[in-house]
């Protein structure tokens, strides 16, 4: 089902205020969910809160540089998610520490 206030739309709206346009592809959202589920399975299961922390980690660099010459448009697809979160998803010790 679709929601009006889903996490992706919240981040799109937040970063739009800084001049950054996010475009979430379906495969990117799916990969985010897979990583959140995987980390929950291997560490403490904190449910949907894990998705929030994974999303924060995914966009931390963009959020930090928003409005300061960073990218103005960013496509979030499975490849981008993997490039930013692959180590986190594979490293259980890092997953426990960061998330």
Which element (helix H / strand E) includes 21? strand 21-24
Query: How far apart are alpha carbons 69 and 50 in whole angstroms?
Result: 30
Total-model pTM = 0.80
pLDDT in tens, the chain (99 residues): 567 779 999 999 999 999 899 999 999 999 999 998 888 888 878 888 888 999 999 999 998 887 787 668 999 999 999 999 988 766 655 555 454
Burial track 73-82 (b if 16+ CB lie within 10 A, e otherwise) = ebebbbebbe
Phi, psi of 47, rounded to the nearest 5 degrees? 65, -140
**Domains in the chain with CATH codes:** 7-98 (1.10.8.60)
């Amino acid at each position: 089902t679709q929601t009006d206030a889903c996490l992706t739309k919240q981040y799109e709206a937040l970063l739009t205020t800084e001049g950054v346009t996010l475009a979430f592809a379906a495969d990117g959202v799916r990969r985010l969910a897979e990583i959140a589920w995987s980390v929950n399975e291997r560490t403490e299961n904190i449910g949907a809160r894990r998705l929030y922390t994974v999303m924060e980690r995914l966009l931390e660099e963009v959020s930090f540089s928003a409005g300061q010459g960073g990218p103005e448009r960013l496509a979030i697809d499975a490849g981008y998610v993997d490039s930013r979160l692959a180590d986190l998803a594979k490293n259980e010790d890092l997953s426990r520490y960061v998330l």
